Structure 1
Amino acid sequence: MFRGVTQLSLDAKGRLAIPARYRSELMSTCSGHLIVTVDPSKCLLIYPQPAWEPIEQKLNNLSSFDSKTRNLQRLLVGNASDVEMDAAGRILLPPPLRLFAGLSKDVVLVGQGAKFELWDEVQWNLQIEDALAFKDGDMPPELDGFSL
């Protein structure tokens, strides 16, 4: 289970150092083999390969006759890239994916259970501001009665 927010930096080659606290789990569950793809909210999603495979299978099993479904398949599966952690625990993010997410040097890695989201730091801060902007009666119906 990946959780927490970590501020990181991309190096000049576009490599991201996976935080040490996740490396051993990633090595044991997928030998450091990760899948990076895009998200419609303009961040990157990073999955251990075994977690990605059922998602990819479900997407590929959907009918491609529906244009919205086909667009989602193109977006998620079409942009999925295989990456490997190197001996230093880094992954090389492909340039087209970095460009899609608008990643600068300063990024934020956000644990989301079975996957990570990778955000440009400025965009992440805007997402947090937006998340805090709930007003009375502005909560999604799925959260009615939800309590922390």
Structure 2
Amino acid sequence: MQFLGEYSCKIDAKGRFRLPAALLAQYPAAAVEGFVLNRGFESCLTLYPQAAWQSITEEMQQLNLYQRQNRQFVRYFFRGATPLQLDKQQRLLLPKNLLDYAQIAKELVLFAYFNRIEIWAKSIYDNLLEEEPGDFADLAESVMGKIEQNSDV
């Protein structure tokens, strides 16, 4: 599964937003299987289709829980994890504690990539992008230069 795109949404007074049809069309099975919402990095929320969440949890089950650092990571990672289902209007209800964590009030941005959708407060997302690295080429070289390139590219 591969998600792609950036979508602006409004959240209603109950904490619901409509998942854009263009995003849902990228992985229609998610409408049936459901999602798991979790705390993300840098004050966003991360929405995983159930299949992606299952894969992540299987990977995490390989951690040695006798190591304190691993236990701490698992506890923090799973903190707030909540299963979600789309309602008949293709809306998701975000729990208040996670809305508070991500400082989401009225407007949010969905940033979809790989097997996840980050959910950001619009103001925080806009500020994050304003802090674009001075030289994106240097960042790209630092990050992507470590990946062995396929000769077919």
TM-score (norm 1): 0.85
Once the two structures are TM-superposed, the CA of residue 138 in structure 1 deviates from its matched residue by 5.3
CA distance, structure 2, for counterparts of residue 60 and residue 106 of structure 1? 35
Counterpart-to-counterpart distance in 2, 1:142 and 1:136: 10
Query: What letter corresponds to residue 118 of structure 2 in structure 1?
Result: E
2:143 corresponds to 1:142: yes
Residues 89, 129 of structure 1: alpha-carbon distance in 2 compared, 3 angstrom cutoff = same
Q: What is the one-letter code of the residue matched to 1:10?
A: I
Letter in 2 for 1:112: Y
Compared CA separation, residues 8 and 64, structure 1 to 2 (3 A): same
Q: Report the CA distance shift for 1:78/1:72 in structure 2 as closer, same or farther (over 3 A).
A: same
| CA apart distance, 1:133 | 2.5
The structural deviation recorded for 1:94 is 0.8
What is the aligned length? 145
TM-score if structure 2 supplies the norm length?
0.83
CA shift for structure 1 position 137: 8.5
Q: Which runs of 5+ in 2 are unaligned?
A: 148-153
Equivalent AA in structure 2 for residue 39 of structure 1:
G
Q: Deviations over 1:95-127 (max 9, x none)?
A: 111111111111000111211000000110111
Tell me how far apart the structure 1 counterparts of residues 126 and 107 of structure 2 sit (CA, whole Å). Answer: 12
How far 1:25 moved relative to its partner? 4.8
Name 1:50's counterpart in structure 2: 51
- Three-state SS of the structure 2 residue aligned to 1:65 is coil
CA distance in 2 between partners of 1:32 and 1:18 (Å): 15
User: CA offset at residue 76 of structure 1?
Assistant: 1.9
